[in-house]
Structure 1
């Protein structure tokens, strides 16, 4: 038991160290223009993500999300590194300055607040979120996404208040390889379908 616990702790330490390194800001990062970011958010992004970052289902909330994380995802959509036909079209006309600006704008909006729909399912999700699943070597979600679901800047997104069906879909996509990710593909592949649903339900109620 101790060796397994030590392994999980070591794994999360490595992931966390990598996240911090990846999150370090670049010296050539454009300076955000909040007014430009607001203009893009209220015209290009609003139909799906809301002018204030509170989305219509099944789209993700962006309010309070880390600005650099948003910037990186937009850049990944534009380059084709992350595939989504709608977002690739939306990001095609955005410059690096635009991406930084819209990320900074959404990061300053008040995060969504919601509640779990199924208390029993959320209670199960809380256990996985906080402690992981030792029998299948699933690390605690809190190690990267934080105890309160606020994430690690630039690398791991805030999940607090997100639509549980959306988070569940992300986990399924990671597990199947449909959405490759160096860390999440390995983690999600070890999760049961029930644990994915439970974690998603718990995250929805975090603030």
Structure 2
């Protein structure tokens, strides 16, 4: 594992979780022409659309995400998350390299209201499941740019990430998120590597204070762990995660600090 130390990072002020996704896909309908009397030949567009979208009609099966299609659908995300998923504003998370399945899960949670955010509710609501997969595939195809860690916080942050803290009942972060922070797609654990410390810290504090993003087993994992961390622990592990990235030439293998 490789780390890039930096000077002191200012404390996080506030927490804004705003993933901004926009639907820019088009759905084309075709139907056979039907004989009609001249008086009813010009049917209003709204009525035609309603007739085409009859309840109970079979919908197309969801396919694996298409990154090319997702590029257009995620175009508006660049304002907050960067065009390639590497946000320049630390209050917005990096999405580059994040797993398609995890992005779909979060969008679904925003759409259903399980994960609450006024902006994302509006953005996720019009998205179809296929749109979500395409957007997820687009960001998953991008590379997350390495971040930096505060050298003063690395020792404690490394302990928590790699070993946990048995005295507090805190497991090692890498047990779920992998030694290099790439996560575990099969188990639905997200990528953390190089994520902004400010975003990680704000999210952990939110979980510490009781926020949850659902009622399933996965939704209960992090709030329970975060409650056992104090403010200094949260700052340390968040900084460590920002500096966490695969060393150049490591070829996927973890390199030691």
Band of TM-score, shorter chain:
0.7 to 0.9
Q: 1:102 Cα shift? A: 0.5
* Residue aligning to 1:124: 156
1:190 aligns with 2:222: no
1:101 aligns with 2:134: yes
Contact 2:162 2:174 in 1 (8 A): yes
* Residue aligning to 1:48: 80
TM-score, with structure 1 as normaliser:
0.82
Q: 1:31 Cα shift? A: 2.7
1:133 aligns with 2:181: no
Contact 2:198 2:238 in 1 (8 A): yes
Contact 1:78 1:88 in 2 (8 A): yes
* Residue aligning to 1:169: 202
User: Which has more helix, going by share of residues?
Assistant: 1
Bigger Cα displacement from structure 2, 96-105 vs 32-41:
32-41
Contact 1:49 1:61 in 2 (8 A): yes
Unaligned runs of 5+ in 1: 1-27
TM-score, with structure 2 as normaliser:
0.67
The CA deviation string for residues 116-148 of structure 1, in whole angstroms up to 9 with x for no partner, is: 1x2120221001111101111110111111111
Q: 1:29 Cα shift? A: 4.5
Contact 1:30 1:96 in 2 (8 A): no
Q: 1:179 Cα shift? A: 3.1
Q: How many residues align?
A: 178
Distance 1:120 1:127 in 2: 13
Match of 2:182, SS state, is: coil
The one of 212, 216, 238 aligned to 1:200: 238
Contact 2:81 2:88 in 1 (8 A): yes
CA spacing shift, 1:56–1:90, aligned 2, 3 Å = farther
Distance 1:206 1:29 in 2: 34
* Residue aligning to 2:115: 82
Contact 2:176 2:184 in 1 (8 A): yes
Unaligned runs of 5+ in 2: 1-60, 214-218, 246-257
